[in-house]
Structure 1
Amino acid sequence: MKPKLIPALAALGLALAAGPALAKGELHIYNWGDYTNPKLIEKFEKKYDVKVTQDDYDSNETMLAKVRTGNTGYDIVVPSDYTVKIMIDEGLLAKTEPDQMSNFKNMKPEYVDVYWDKGRHYSVPWQIGTTAFAVDTDKYKGDIDTYAILFDPPDALKGQINMLDDMNSIMHAAERYLGIPRCSADKANLKKVNDLLVKAKPNWKTFSYDTITKMTSGDVIVTQTWNGAAYRMRQKMPSVKYAYPKEGIEGWMDNVAVLKGAPNMENAKLFQNFIMEPENAALISEFAGYDNGIKGSEKFLPASFADAPEIKRPEGAPTPEFVPPCPPAVVKIYNQIWTNLRK
């Protein structure tokens, strides 16, 4: 028989059930650099009386290598889609069941049954975007919607190109330009990719993730970059235009996930639920410049953001392609090509 609670005890029970709102302690976040709105962290700290510390990384591979060593002290990481899949398969993430959290109702349906976390048992969206490149149209007036800009550039752009220091982004862009499937194990295809990259490298000036500075300082005319970074560039430099290559474009989603054995597990879960609140998701987009996958967040963002050409794909632009992790045999050859390229 279930006992009846007197009103005072019932109220106490409800307060205890809402325990997360009473949370205290710490939360340690490991995220991409220049990607977190300080207002978001301040709001979370104030609401839950939790002290947040942050460290940053510059690539999924850097983060993954550190996590694999164990005992990082971090609670939360922000891996891209394919890296979430790798980390789930390797048993590195906690099954926090975001699909059972109170704010899960705000997630856009198309981002629930994703290949990297079907049903959302481990991760929630942080930011969604594409990877292509941006051009200073004051210095180059030609057609930019083709990967020829990167891999077979006109004379005006040679030596004026920055590439991301990111193996997968460069490999997949080369495959799109050549019309080769992503992660192809065919040796002839892989040789074509290698030959294209070796030929193109002398035309590139730098490999850097600091794409905004590279462009806005005038150091380069073209930079491989992400759409949100291009949006932020354009705020500082109106002549910047983001390309939508006719050969195809890379789609990605960065996700908030909790490390298995996280020291502050409950606070990490709180944070996952917190960023699925539309107003909080909007804070992330306001700072980083990308869409976020949360319904209703647009109400807290200026209309100019939603309609920005970097955020709203032009009619006729290719649909972003999300690429799952390549098979180990292909990754091995990718690594060989990449090591040679970065000599």
Structure 2
Amino acid sequence: MTWKLKAATAAASLFVFAGAASAEGELNIFNWGDYTNPELIKKFEEAYKVKVTVTDYDSNDTALAKVRAGGHGYDIVVPSANYVPIWVNEGLLLEARPDQMENFKNVDERWVNVPWDEGRRYTVPWQWGVSGIGVNSKVYGGDINTSAIWLDPPAELVGKINVEPEMTDVLFATIRYFGGEWCTDDKELLKKVRDKLVEAKPKWLAMDYSVTEKLPAGDYSAVYYWNGAILRSRIANPDIKFGYPKEGYPIFMDSVAILADAKNVENAKLFMNFIMDPENAALISAFAKYANGIKGSDAFMPADMKGARELIVPDEFKDAGQFLTTCSPEVNELYTRIWTDVNK
């Protein structure tokens, strides 16, 4: 649908936002699929008279390739932490200075001076979580705290597994499965990783992001996927159980950034400030079921997120989690070759 709306008239002083700020025009958001709360968008549209369009993508690489190609028409993108330096170094993001916005005071201190965006000059938190295991306990009753569920699947699960289509998360868990460290360039180990993934893939049913419907419905019996989606699946079907791979699992944070060639910059800045409000951040989490990084949002969280195993890592698995960092271009090239082989 084509929207013929007036251009944004927000003042240049929008680095500091008044609660009753007004705006007009449109905003085009490029975000992960099934990750944006329609209630949040509606609230923003009504507050600022801005028409928002959300377009989905299924992986960091998909988003990066689309924007690199140009002519995309998006204003906002939501890359994962280990990809943010790539976007910045390639000049794809606007230095929007969210650290100067009114609601930046609400960002939890843990997420301010982050290695991928020191002091938050480009990005603000969207959501964070982990990649783990979701299993239908009616189908399989064994140990689920292991990546063997999808790398060396038991007979009950063969042909019933979905694996997230995200290169870094998949390679991280597989490298750790063989005892390696993230960003390794050990050719011998990486050959094992490549061979294992190529061997395992025929035992999977899919690599997509329709988990919140298909896992609780029984279309998938097991997944290697993000914790929030598995929590949503368990809410829909109590037989779904969540496991933390004891060999190692990745921790991620996705953050909102404004594209360097955005057409609706001031509306994008309004949205950045808007999602740093605790009540609005809670709306983000209430839909997708991930933590958000904004102080005070817990007070607005739904009851089904409080005490959830998917969000609170048991002590025995805390040391197995590692925040995904940005590997060197040389290592990324090695990983991309493996990923290309896996996706043939």
2:39, 2:283 within 8 Å by CA — same for their partners in 1? yes
Distance 1:180 1:17, change over 3 A: closer
Distance 1:337 1:58, change over 3 A: same
SS in structure 2 of the partner of residue 47 of structure 1:
helix
Partners of 1:167 and 1:297 in 2: how far apart?
Answer: 31
Give the structure-1-normalised TM-score.
0.91
Alignment pair present for 1:91 and 2:91? yes
2:33, 2:209 within 8 Å by CA — same for their partners in 1? no
Distance 1:17 1:64, change over 3 A: closer
Partners of 2:18 and 2:302 in 1: how far apart?
Answer: 33
SS in structure 2 of the partner of residue 27 of structure 1:
strand
SS in structure 1 of the partner of residue 318 of structure 2:
coil
Partners of 1:217 and 1:46 in 2: how far apart?
Answer: 35
- Who is 1:122 aligned against? 122
| Matched AA of 2:98 | P
Alignment pair present for 1:341 and 2:342? yes
Alignment pair present for 1:214 and 2:214? yes
- Who is 1:330 aligned against? 331
1:106, 1:278 within 8 Å by CA — same for their partners in 2? yes
1:282, 1:297 within 8 Å by CA — same for their partners in 2? yes
Q: Deviations over 1:216-240 (max 9, x none)?
A: 2312211111100001001111010
SS in structure 1 of the partner of residue 205 of structure 2:
strand
Q: Deviations over 1:226-256 (max 9, x none)?
A: 1000010011110101111111221101111
- Who is 1:269 aligned against? 269
Q: Deviations over 1:129-148 (max 9, x none)?
A: 11112000111111111111
Q: Which of these two proteins has the greater Rg computed from alpha carbons?
A: 1
Q: Deviations over 1:133-167 (max 9, x none)?
A: 20001111111111111212222222222112222
Partners of 1:246 and 1:61 in 2: how far apart?
Answer: 27
Kindly report the root-mean-square deviation, in angstroms, between the aligned alpha carbons of the 2 structures. 1.8
- Offset, 1:40: 0.8
- Offset, 1:297: 0.4
Identify which range, 160-169 or 134-143, moves more after superposition. Answer: 160-169
- Who is 2:161 aligned against? 161
- Offset, 1:18: 4.3
- Offset, 1:214: 2.9
- Offset, 1:17: 8.2
SS in structure 1 of the partner of residue 256 of structure 2:
strand
Partners of 1:59 and 1:102 in 2: how far apart?
Answer: 31
| Matched AA of 2:91 | G
Identity between Structure 1 and Structure 2 (%): 52
Partners of 1:192 and 1:262 in 2: how far apart?
Answer: 42
2:183, 2:331 within 8 Å by CA — same for their partners in 1? yes
- Offset, 1:331: 2.1
Identify which range, 198-207 or 265-274, moves more after superposition. Answer: 198-207
Pairing of 1:2-17 with structure 2 (within 5 A): none
- Offset, 1:316: 2.0
- Who is 1:9 aligned against? none
Distance 1:142 1:29, change over 3 A: same
- Who is 1:193 aligned against? 193
Pairing of 1:105-120 with structure 2 (within 5 A): 105-120=105-120
| Matched AA of 2:268 | A
2:17, 2:273 within 8 Å by CA — same for their partners in 1? no
Partners of 1:17 and 1:30 in 2: how far apart?
Answer: 23
2:40, 2:284 within 8 Å by CA — same for their partners in 1? yes
